[in-house]
Chain A
Amino acid sequence: KQEVTQIPAALSVPEGENLVLNCSFTDSAIYNLQWFRQDPGKGLTSLLLIQSSQREQTSGRLNASLDKSSGRSTLYIAASQPGDSATYLCAVPYSNYQLIWGAGTKLIIKP
């Protein structure tokens, strides 16, 4: 069964740094991968959806890449800001209606 892993569980960096969050999956037969953001005690917001035919997807300072052969996706955040502090989760579908989720990386940007 598909497993999704996000390492590290937590990351703290100074403001202004560029950073990379990682997401690994065990079954490369995926048709897309999504990145979400969750603020403390809140719901999730979709950030980027990258199709299996794409290698990258960009939105503002965020860039997601997908390498199916290695079972890996990265979320690159440029010029980090304190407002980027949140938990970032990745998920892959295993049916039309079901997703398998990583446990998330809690990101803290220090002013």
Chain B
Amino acid sequence: DGGITQSPKYLFRKEGQNVTLSCEQNLNHDAMYWYRQDPGQGLRLIYYSQIVNDFQKGDIAEGYSVSREKKESFPLTVTSAQKNPTAFYLCAAGANTDTQYFGPGTRLTVL
């Protein structure tokens, strides 16, 4: 079964806690992306990676960190510095903007 997998589906964070969202792909795409989606807003780019061991900040990178040690994996850490992390997080992979395949998403809630 090919595609993008994200885990967990639901995640709860306590104040001051770091949490990590997983994203794995078996599509063999070089580029991977993390987006944040809030109600009534378009998707906003957090980070993207064009190739292993390289990544760039998107529009809202503050309070987030990523790593890209393997082509298949692009985990996102939501740090305690992110003051309003409650949102739906989407991971995508693709050759470029013309071809982006999305995972099912992780809903993060701050307790």
The answer to whether A43 touches B97 (Cβ under 8 A) is no
CB distance from A21 to the nearest CB of B (A): 15
The answer to whether A42 touches B96 (Cβ under 8 A) is no
Q: Does more than half of chain A's interface fall in helix, strand or loop, or is it mixed?
A: strand
Name A9's contact: one of B40, B48, B100 (CB within 8 Å): B40
- Chain B positions within 8 Å of A, measured between CB atoms, are 4, 6, 31, 33, 40-45, 48, 50, 56, 58, 88, 90, 92, 96-105, 107
Q: How many pairs, one residue from A and one from B, have CB atoms within 8 Å of each other in the complex? A: 61
Interface bin, chain A:
20 to 34
Closest 9 CB pairs of A and B: A101-B42, A43-B102, A93-B97, A44-B102, A101-B43, A103-B42, A43-B104, A96-B96, A99-B97
The answer to whether B102 touches A97 (Cβ under 8 A) is no
- Chain A positions within 8 Å of B, measured between CB atoms, are 4, 9, 32, 34, 41-46, 49, 89, 91, 93, 95-104
